[in-house]
Structure 1
């Protein structure tokens, strides 16, 4: 089932935000595709975080490519100097929201689009986090922190108001697993 890469050429390279290559590949049936485009992104870390009183921590921010304000979980790129994805998830939550501490565990992993994207999103569940400092935002970030109940989150999901697909996937999976436990 695997495709054989016959050649590969970068057509745009501006890591970590935009790296695109075009591969010439041979399919298992022998057919040749001259131009198969691949988007190379770094891996991402996502924090599905709950406070000590079981409120979900969300960030509300403008997303220029989509042209709207988006409700999301705290997330970001796993930097080259991050020792592991968990470190990156903790760092992103603390920087974007000021929340930290608590008990953390690996929850899931997903890919935005395995047909064209090279990266993985690692999702961590954090329970019992609390506000420990002020936000430390990047120059492009203008983030409002929102604390939401389980019912609030379910309502947003049911109305398709969480458009970041990896975040909604994580939340639906968490809600499913919680329902299964009860």
Structure 2
């Protein structure tokens, strides 16, 4: 049901870039709202689109990675993830990142969900893919700025990692949880909530 009084997009009256680097671009907009309200300093973070992959092996195990994240100052479990290069489609980016970061590839791919880190401040999207039937195809091909270990875990172990907070990245927890819920529903397993 759509209501006639739903909010409409704001009118941008002016816009300027305060900082422009590949990993930190900040734009300041002056915006007018539908109700006449005015926000002179609305800040937007511009990033390229991101991808992540819930990768499931031919025997039903999940391919996770562990890496240090400096913002939180800790190592945690994550899905394989990366950046969509300019002009690149998200699916090939996801397939490339999975192969480079983990050595796993192949299988059947589908878009599981599209997410925003924060639609109030982030201008990009995250495309979360499900890759089923992946196999180990090569050694990792990490960049000099990557330190990643690969961990193949059972779905039950992945659920434990979610429950214990060992998967901190919300853009990774959401698609992984969606996969685990769909898996439980298709197997007619009783749904176990946190």
Q: Do residues 12 (structure 1) and 19 (structure 2) align?
A: yes
Structure 2 partner of 1:58: 64
* Structure-1-length-normalised TM-score: 0.96
Show structure 1 runs of 4+ deviating over 3 A.
none
Q: How many residues align?
A: 180
Deviation at 1:65, TM superposition (A): 1.3
Residue 164 of structure 2 is matched in structure 1 by: 159
What SS does the aligned partner of 2:59 have?
A: coil
Give ranges in structure 2 of 5+ residues lacking alignment.
Answer: 1-6, 189-194
| 1:55-106 Cα distance to aligned partner (Å, 9 max, x none) | 1001100011111002100010000142x11100000000001111111111
Cα distance, 1:180 vs structure 2: 2.2
Give the aligned partner of residue 88 of structure 1. 93
Correspondence 1:78 to 2:66: no
Residue aligned with 1:123, SS: strand
Aligned equivalent of 2:54, options 20, 25, 48: 48
| Rounded Cα–Cα distance in structure 2 between residues aligned with 1:130 and 1:91 | 14
Q: How does 1:1-182 map to 2 (within 5 A)?
A: 1=7, 2-15=9-22, 17-82=23-88, 84-181=89-186, 182=188
TM-score, normalised with respect to structure 2 = 0.90
